[in-house]
Structure formats: C-alpha cells, structure tokens
Structure 1
Amino acid sequence: MPHRVRSVLSAVLIGLACLLAPLGALSAWATYAIGDTGRYEATMAPLATDRNVRDAIAAGIADGIMHEVHVGPPLRGPVHSFVRDAARSFTRTPAFAAAWEAANRAAHDAVMQALRDGNDRAGNGRGAGGGGGDVTIDLAPVTEQVKRQLADNHMPLAGRIPVEHTATTVLHARDAGRLRKGFQVLEVAGFWLPVAAAVLASTGILVAVCRRRAVLATGLGTSLGAALLGAAVAIGRRLTLADLPAGVSRSAVGAVYDALTETLRQVSWLLLGLGLAVALGALLTGRIARARQASAALAPAAAEQPTQVRA
C-alpha cells in the first residue's frame, strides 16, 4: 500500500476513534450508571443526607401540607414554620432515608419501563403509576411519615392532615416518546462504541507509516475529546439550572446533577490523563530515538578520523 494512502487511512481511522471515545463514554454511562437500577440507587442514596436536598424536600412537603390544611392568616405563618421544622426534622431520620430510597427506586423503575418497553403507564404496584400516558409516582407514604412526625411533636392539626394518593409526574408522555429511541440507541451503543473506538485506534496505528506519530495523534485526540466531554457536562449543568421553574431549589437540583454525572466526569478526567500520558510517552520516545540515531551516526565518523601523532 502506498505511503500516502496509508497516512490518509490512518488519519481517518484515528480521527473516528477519537470522536467515538467520548461518545462511547457517554453511552456507557447512560447504560451502566443510569440505566442500571442498583447503580442508580447507590448513586442517589447519599443524597438523603445532603442538606440542600433535605431542605428542598422539607419545603415541598410543608407547602403540600399547608395547601391541604386551611389555617387563618394570623396563624398561617407560625403553623407553616412549625410544619416545615417538623418536615426538616423528619428528613434526618432513618425513615426518611428509607422513603427516599423507595421513591427513587419507584421513579427509576417507572422511567426505565417507559423508555425500554414503551409502556408509559408504568403501574408496578410499588408507588409508581400513571394516567394519561405520563410516568408518575405516589409520594403519599412520605406524607404519612411526616404526619406521624407532627403527631409525635403534639401538633394539634396533625390528625386532620389528609394523606391522599396524588400522582407526581416524573416524566411526561411527550418526553418519554421523544427520549425512548435515543435511550435505546445509547443502550446498544454502550458496549459497541468503546469497542469500536479501541479497534479503530489500534488499526489506525498499525497501518500508519510512522506509528509513533500515530500514537501521538491518538493521545492528543483522545485528550481533546475528553476535554469536550467534560465541557459538555459543565454546560449541561448550567443549562439545567437555568431552565428550572420558579420555586425549585437550584442547590438541590445541582446536587442531584453532580451525583448523577460524577462517574461521567471521572471518566472524562481519566481519558484526558490517559491521552496526555500516551502523547507525552510518544514525544519522549521519539526524542530518545532521534538522540540514539544521532549518536550512532557520529560514532563511525569519529572512528574514521586519523589519530594525530605528536612530533
């Protein structure tokens, strides 16, 4: 094969490999970190102790209870403060951790069932349900726990708090239909894209005229792709927080976003460091090889010089 053809083919293969590397990391993250129920629960469980998340949930529970309990203006402020303190106290109990885990499991199962099976109703008998095609969960058990907490604190109105099975939408039907195909593609690509990237990079290096330069290009391209992936995660966080409706805690959503994307950020840093290490290794070995070649070229010339004899 002519050298020019080999160089072009190598460049194309390495370019594709560097492009597929961050996409493969993204698809693997969606499949194995978000799509897997066990890993998702392990990721979300520590958030039960996050202060921002607990404060946001306590505020939401208190607002929901006050919406159902009708109190006059003179007492509404103190009662709301009392209810919110009770809800915040509840978020520090093991019962809240269990409720948080159950709610996340129900929401994850409902969303995954809608995305994988095309069943938007997701009624699985574990707090998930739906109507009108929306994916919903029932948070009545959490309200019941807060009601018990208020009763233990001797709040007079605690026994009158209604505990209704209200469906809370976690994924609208219009969004489920739009996301389903993309998620299914990511699940298939979660295994094959990283494999394809490795095969293309190896093939590109093998067919290259100068393999050391090919390794250097692969390392730099991988680092660039990893940097773009990290930038995409950061931009996604900013856009997510910017699009939040009024009344939603930005700190709590930011904590959830950071927890969900932690693995993706770690992978991007790993790819960045690996790519730079490979590129640096290629540069150093190239310099060492050129230094050895120069030394080898000077040695015969020095041997051929006539020996000067002093008179």
Structure 2
Amino acid sequence: MPPRDVPRRARLRNALSATLVALACLLAPCGALAAWAAFGLADTGRYVSTMAPLAAHPDVRDAVADAVGDEVAGELDPGAAHGALGPFVRDAVRSFTRTEAFRVAWEAGHRAVHGAVLHALRDETATRGPVTVDLAPVTARVRRRLAADRSPLAPRIPVEHTRVTVVPAAEVPGLRKGYHVLDAAAFWLPLATVVLAVAGIAVAACRRRALLATGLGTALGGALLALAVAVGRRLTLADLPDRVHRPAAAAVYDALTAALRTASWLLLALGLTVALATWLTRRPRRAPPAPTAGTPAPSPPRARA
C-alpha cells in the first residue's frame, strides 16, 4: 500500500467511527426513556408499587379529600360544594384518607385502572369502545377492610358493579399504536446503542480516543435526559389549571419518573467512569533517545539537483 493512502484510510475510519459513536450516544437516552415507559409504566405490579407510598403523602391526601369531598357534597346537595356542607364533607373524607381502608382503596383502584388500560393497549380485539373499569372489586376490598377494623359503616357500603370510563374510545387507537412502538423500541434501541458503540470503537484508527469519546457522549446523553425530566416536570405543573393541587401532581410526577432519573444518573456516572479510566490508563509518549557523545548527528537530506 502506498504511504500516502495510509492517512486517507485513517481519516475515513475516524469519520466512520465518529458517526457510529455519535449515533450510539444519541440513542442511549432514547433507549433509557423507551425502556422506562415499556418496563416501568407498563408493568402493573411496578406501577402499583410506585404509586402505593403516595397514599400517605399529605399533599396527595389533601387533593383526594378536596376532589372527593366536592363530588360527594354536590351529590348530596347541588351547589353545596362551596357552601356550608362542603367543608364538613371534605374533613370527613380527609379523615378517611388517614385510615388503612383508604390505602387499600388507593392500591386497588390504581391496580384496576392500570390493568384495564394495559389490557386494552395490548389486546387489539379487547375493546372497540372506551376503556372502563368496574369499581365493585375496589368497593368490596374497602368494605372488607372496614369490617376487619369493626367500623359501623362497613355494612352500609353498597357493593355495586359500576363502570367508569378511564380512556375515551377516540383515544384508544392512538394510545395502542404508541404502546406498540414503545414496546418495540424498548428492546431494539438499547441493543442498537451497544452495537453502534462497539462498532464505532472497533473501526476507529485510535480506539482509545474513540472509547474516550463514547464515554463523554454517554455522560452527555445522561445529563440531557436528566434535564429533559426536569423540564418536563416544570411544563407539566405549569399546565395544571388548579394551582392548589400542584404539590400533589409534583409528588405523582416525581414518583413516576424516579426510575428514569436514576437511569439518567447511571448513564452520566458510567460515561464519566469510562472516560476517566481511559484517560488515566493512556500510555505516555516516549521521547526519542538523546544522542550520546561521539555519535555523529544525522546529516540533513541532500537536495535533489
């Protein structure tokens, strides 16, 4: 191979390596986001375990008490939600939110709603209409909990099959398509990220430099993912019309995105660790040996006539 072709091949390999590494670093946060949505939010057990501690959160309990209290007061006396009856009903519901029965209802309700939505998204033949949930199992669990606590209100709670719409029929097809896209991306994006990163390092003329760039790019992707979660939180809370319940919405947002924030910090730590290890283990360049005494210095090349 002619000597002048060597630098050209090295430049081509470095350009290809830079492209592959850049794509891998861009796909890393996207893969983490897809995996979080597919394996975190789409798993009923993980979702319920994430939402269960919020039953004891004071802001969430106050928001539930206000919403349920206004609804109950309106049913008992229309127009009384903001009148004399409203505060008494909200205080009663707020007292109920501090009981074990409320925690049972909270978990059972989330499990029922999440299971119904997930079943509609996964099974295309499940429903052609809206996604509904039956509140009878939730009411039955609350009644059993109150009966175990020997509450005199337990026999008065009716267990009726009541269908409540949680997702309108018009939104089901779009949500189903989005779910299938996320389900496929959760597997292929992380795999593509690893393959592109390995290929980019393998084809590089200087693999150590490519590994350093991969580590720094992964750390940058993790930082951008953490920034996106923070910006999403700010925008989500800013769009809420009710400012009183923003602390409760913030608690729910933080609980749902806890795993995503952990993934972003892991990407940041992994990238910085790889980059630092690569930089610390670099080989120092050896200086050419100095000419000893008595050794003639190399003569300059003669100019051609």
Normalising by structure 1, we get a TM-score of 0.79
Is 2:133 the counterpart of 1:137?
yes
Is 2:265 the counterpart of 1:301?
no
| CA shift in 2, pair 1:188/1:43, >3 Å | same
1:10-57 deviation digits (Å, cap 9, x = unpaired): 111111111111111011111111111111111111111111111111
Opposite residue 42 of structure 1, the aligned amino acid is S
Task: Give the aligned partner of residue 278 of structure 1.
Answer: 274
Q: Secondary structure at the match of 1:301?
A: coil
Q: CA deviation at 1:63?
A: 0.8
Is 2:32 the counterpart of 1:25?
yes
1:59-88 deviation digits (Å, cap 9, x = unpaired): 111111101112897x97443222211111
Instruction: Return the match for 2:195 from 191, 196, 199.
Output: 199
Aligned alpha-carbon RMSD (Å): 3.2
Q: CA deviation at 1:222?
A: 0.9
CA distance in 2, matches of 1:116, 1:217: 40
Opposite residue 16 of structure 1, the aligned amino acid is L
CA distance in 1, matches of 2:222, 2:171: 29
Query: Which structure: greater helix fraction?
Result: 1
Opposite residue 258 of structure 1, the aligned amino acid is D
Which consecutive residues of structure 1, in runs of 5 or more, have no partner in the other structure?
122-131, 307-311
- Checking the alignment, whether the CA contact within 8 Å between 1:95 and 1:145 is kept in structure 2 is yes
Count of paired positions: 280
CA distance in 1, matches of 2:66, 2:103: 17
Q: Secondary structure at the match of 2:234?
A: helix
Task: Give the aligned partner of residue 225 of structure 1.
Answer: 221
Instruction: Return the match for 2:170 from 169, 174, 179.
Output: 174
Opposite residue 220 of structure 1, the aligned amino acid is L
CA distance in 1, matches of 2:82, 2:182: 50
| CA shift in 2, pair 1:35/1:198, >3 Å | same
| CA shift in 2, pair 1:92/1:40, >3 Å | same
User: What aligned pairs does 1:115-154 form with structure 2 within 5 A after superposition?
Assistant: 115-118=121-124, 121=127, 133-139=129-135, 141=138
| CA shift in 2, pair 1:268/1:144, >3 Å | closer
Which consecutive residues of structure 2, in runs of 5 or more, have no partner in the other structure?
1-5, 295-305
- Checking the alignment, whether the CA contact within 8 Å between 2:222 and 2:264 is kept in structure 1 is yes
The percent identity for this pair of structures is: 56
- Checking the alignment, whether the CA contact within 8 Å between 1:216 and 1:278 is kept in structure 2 is yes
